[in-house]
Structure 1
Amino acid sequence: MVKPTDEVINLPNFPVTIVRELDGNFIHDNISLKELVEHTDKGLILYFYPKDDTPGCTVQATEFTEHFNDFDELGYDIIGVSRDSIESHKKFIEKYDLQIPLISDSDEQLCQHFEVIKEKNMYGKTTLGLVRSAFVFNKEGKLTHAQRNLRAKGYTERLLNTLTS
């Protein structure tokens, strides 16, 4: 059973740009995540990562791809979110043969909705950055699990264990 969360975050009803590869072609659709869940009758794992094609983000995306069928069997779609452009997402998906769609949130609307932009201290300098986070919604669109400041390596297996225990 998924650990319940005290956080109350609703799936947003504004459109987001989802990039995916389908039969060798890249498509990008604008759809609200709320509509997506309503039309698929599946839960949703939405994970936020700082930047395409960086070590930790690549590990996380490839691990989600490796376990894509496991999450699908449990009744979940997986979507990654970063502030990268559509073109950056296309290159990232193609380079690593990612099976998961990615959201281009270059205007940070979705990041702000989930409050994942936070102050970070990098080499003594304070900047605003995206905090690696994941949110799990059931097929009714209710938040059932949230984790912020997560470690990329091994996260998908830890999440699978959480969802199946």
Structure 2
Amino acid sequence: MVNLGFISSSEQCPPHVRHVRILAGREHFSGAGQAEVRILTDAQGRTSWALDWLVAAPGDVAAWSKLMAIQMNNLAWPAWWLDVGSLLQTTSLPADSALARWGNPFWGAYLGDALVFLDVGGRRRMVYQVVRQWEARMPHMRFSTKHDLDATT
């Protein structure tokens, strides 16, 4: 089961939740997608994990998002947050289009039992509409008001 929650910025995210970004790959990069796992240390000395998903062809969202889901399944992270801004920047699409094109193949292949936060920023209404579509299509996904940290600000 995937429980979805909202945050409006990284500062709202609980410290144990891992950061996932989607970035355009480097010049020498090829393939549908490649993961780079990073270890981060914050100002208090706490260590956390992050994942950068590098894509060579940002327009081929269906191919790399499904591969990304398979890799995320392998990581089996119990809680992570998607940097929606990185998805928008990489795909050059508006939030609703980018999330729908990424999310439909991703959530169809993602089998994890996880809490996933979406960094909605100022796009809450648009993101929520896409989340409702995901819930209608995929019974293993639910938006959880308990994890709606954006609503508490």
**TM-score with structure 1 length normalisation?**
0.32
* Higher relative contact order structure (alpha carbons within 8 Å, sequence separation ≥ 6): 2
**TM-score with structure 2 length normalisation?**
0.33
